[in-house]
Amino acid sequence: MGSAFANGLLAALLPCNCVLCGASGPALLCPGCRQQFFAATVPRCPICANPLPPAPVDLEPVPCGRCQAQRPAFDATVAAADYALPVDRLVLQLKFARQLALARLFAGLLADAVQRADAGRHPRPALLCPVPLGLQRLSERGFNQALEIARPLGKALGIAVHAKLAVRVRDTLAQSSTPHGARHANIAHAFAIPERALVEGRHIGLVDDVMSSGETLQELAATLKRHGAARVTNYVFARTPPNTN
């Protein structure tokens, strides 16, 4: 009781401002913005998380036409929100303004999305693997935003995080600045798995801040599958809508 009272008193004395609308409150995200931007109202492809046309709520979503025509190396994707205004500003603040508190917020929102999407359909991953950065970008930024999200996400979901389950063996151009048609070649053969025994026969969860074209997650999932992974699920905070890929 004492701890709860102290936490409540601290929240009252030091209110936060909502990172989206600026309203004062006890959390980084106010209830209104949480409902508006992160409620589970958009049906998504269960494999790539792209939006689907509205369907009866009692029907399970089916894969989109693209995933049915050419199934990706990953088996499922869970996203907390679309990468669009104003959510995209939060991602930029984390990556380029070192607002690391946002990583915990992203993890909490993503954990909520995972809880909604799971519904007992599939077991949780055995390990979470943050998408690794190249050495040059890691040196420039000073942290890996995927790892910063993965750590609190792992705690929330009860899944161990292995920061070096996958490594990036060559630096690549940023996918966001690479022409869409060149993204596959840019990321090809960029990853390695140091310990096959940690992957073989297991369900691996990949964690990243944003999924755009999906080429990075596709390449990493394919690398994991070549090393014996039984299933790969992507956990991404934001998904770029297909018309802006």
Angstrom CA distances, 211 to 120, 154, 176, stand at 24, 19, 10
Instruction: State the Cα torsion 99-100-101-105 to the nearest 10°.
Output: 100
Q: What is the pLDDT of residue 220?
A: 97
Sheet order of strands, 76-82 included: 76-82, 231-239, 203-211, 127-130, 160-161
**Distance separating alpha carbons of residues 63 and 143, to the nearest angstrom:** 34
Q: What is the pLDDT of residue 58?
A: 64
Per-residue pLDDT of 81-132, as tens digits, reads 999 999 999 999 999 999 999 999 999 999 999 998 875 567 899 999 999 9
**Distance separating alpha carbons of residues 119 and 58, to the nearest angstrom:** 13
**Entry pTM:** 0.87
* Distance linking the first and last C-alpha atoms of the chain: 50
Q: What is the pLDDT of residue 49?
A: 95
Q: What is the pLDDT of residue 15?
A: 63
Instruction: State the Cα torsion 238-240-242-243 to the nearest 10°.
Output: 140
**Distance separating alpha carbons of residues 101 and 191, to the nearest angstrom:** 28
Angstrom CA distances, 176 to 117, 154, 171, 181, stand at 27, 27, 14, 12
* Both tokens assigned to 230: 């039984």
Q: What is the pLDDT of residue 136?
A: 87
Mean pLDDT by 10 residues, the chain (245 residues): 46 71 90 90 89 75 92 97 94 93 96 83 90 90 96 98 94 62 74 96 98 94 98 97 63
**Distance separating alpha carbons of residues 122 and 120, to the nearest angstrom:** 6
Please, which residues have CB within 8 angstroms of residue 206's CB and are 6 or more apart in sequence?
74, 128, 129, 130, 131, 217, 220, 221, 224, 232, 233, 234, 235
